[in-house]
Amino acid sequence: MPVGPRPPDVSIVGFEGPLDLLLELVEEKKLDIFTMRLGDLADEYLARVRRMAVLPADEVSAFLYIASRLVLLKARSLLPSLTPAANDEELDTEEELRLRLIEYATTKGRAEALGDRMRAGERAFHREGGTVELPPKGGDPDALAAAWLKVMALTRRTQEDVEVPGERYSVEQRTAEIEALMAERPKVTFATLLGDRPTLGYAIVTFIALLDLYRRLAIDITQDELFGEIRIERKVQRMEGLTE
C-alpha cells in the first residue's frame, strides 16, 4: 500500500534530515569536522540511507543528494585527476559541504539552547490590563478586520497542513470519473484505477466509489484469489440507465 501523508513535525528515524545524519556520523566516529575527509563517510552514509526504505520519495531524494556528493568527493580523493568542471567548483567542493555542515551543527546547538529554555519554562508574561477602568474608545474597525483576516489565514494554513496535502477527492467526483472511464472501457483492474503512485486517501476514495457503483448494480467486481487482481466489469444496461 502506498505511503500516506507523513504526520507533521515528526523527525525521520531519529534524524531531522540529511545534514543531521551526516553530522551524526561525524560525531559517532569522533572525527574533527574541520579536517576530516567527508568522502570517507560515503559508504557508511549510503548504508544508513539504504535502511530508510520507508521514507517518501521526495525525502529520500534529499538524502540521496548528499550521498551522491559524498561519493563524488570520495571518487575525487581516489582519482585526483578527476577535477570538477570549472563552473561546478563553487557548488561542489568539499569546503562548501563542510561549511554547510558546520552551519547546521551551529543551528542544532542553538536549537538545543532554545529547547533548554523552553523546557525550563522560564518565560515572561505581559499585563493584559484590567486595572484601568476608563471606557475604551477609538477602536479601529480596519485593524479589527485585519486581525480577523490574519487569524483566518493562520487557521487555514494549519488545517491544510494537517489534512492530506495536494489533491483531495470526493467519492462523488471519483465515482463520476470511474463511470466516465468505464463508459469507454468495459473492463478495468483496480490497479489501473489507482495509477502509479496513489496516496492512501486516493486509494480509499477509489475503493469507496467502487463499492458505491457495485451497490448501484452498475458494475461487477471479481477477484480470483486472495490478494489477487481485482477486476471491475461494467454492467451495460445499468450503466446507460445511470448516465442518462
Partner 1 sequence: MTRSAVAAAVEAVLFVAEKPVSRAELARTIGAGAKAVGEALGELEEWYRGTGLRLQHEGDDWQIVTAPEMAPHVATYLGADRLRLSSAALETLAVVAYRQPVTRAEVESIRGVNCDQTIYTLMSRRLIAELGRREAPGSPFEYGTTWEFLECFGLASLDALPTVLSPEGVRSEDERVPSP
Is 59 or 177 the residue whose CB approaches partner 1 more closely?
A: 59
Is 82 or 91 the residue whose CB approaches partner 1 more closely?
A: 91
Is 148 or 168 the residue whose CB approaches partner 1 more closely?
A: 148
Task: By CB under 8 A, tell whether 104 contacts partner 1.
Answer: yes
Minimal distance, residue 87 CB to partner 1, in Å: 17
**What's the Rg (C-alpha) of the chain?**
28
Residue 199 dihedral angles phi and psi, to the nearest 5°:
-80, 165
Task: By CB under 8 A, tell whether 228 contacts partner 1.
Answer: no
What is the signed CA dihedral for 169, 175, 178, 184, rounded to 10 degrees? -140
Is 151 or 191 the residue whose CB approaches partner 1 more closely?
A: 151
Distances (CA, A) of 67 to 21, 36, 95, 151, 222: 10, 16, 16, 42, 46
Candidate list 152, 191, 217, 221; residue touching partner 1; CB under 8 A: 152
Among 44-52, 71-79, 127-135, 174-182, the segment contacting partner 1 (CB under 8 A): 127-135
Collapsed DSSP state (helix, strand, coil) of residue 37: coil
> Which grid coordinates are listed for 123?
518565560
Task: By CB under 8 A, tell whether 31 contacts partner 1.
Answer: no
CA angle 156, 157, 160 (to 5 degrees): 85
CA angle 200, 203, 208 (to 5 degrees): 125
Return the residues of window 71-100 that contact partner 1 according to CB under 8 A. 96, 99-100
Task: By CB under 8 A, tell whether 61 contacts partner 1.
Answer: no
Task: By CB under 8 A, tell whether 109 contacts partner 1.
Answer: yes
Task: By CB under 8 A, tell whether 138 contacts partner 1.
Answer: yes
Return the residues of window 154-183 that contact partner 1 according to CB under 8 A. 154-159, 161
Euclidean distance between CA atoms 111 and 134, whole angstroms: 44
Minimal distance, residue 85 CB to partner 1, in Å: 19
Candidate list 47, 75, 82, 111; residue touching partner 1; CB under 8 A: 111
| Residue 99, beta-bridge partner list | none
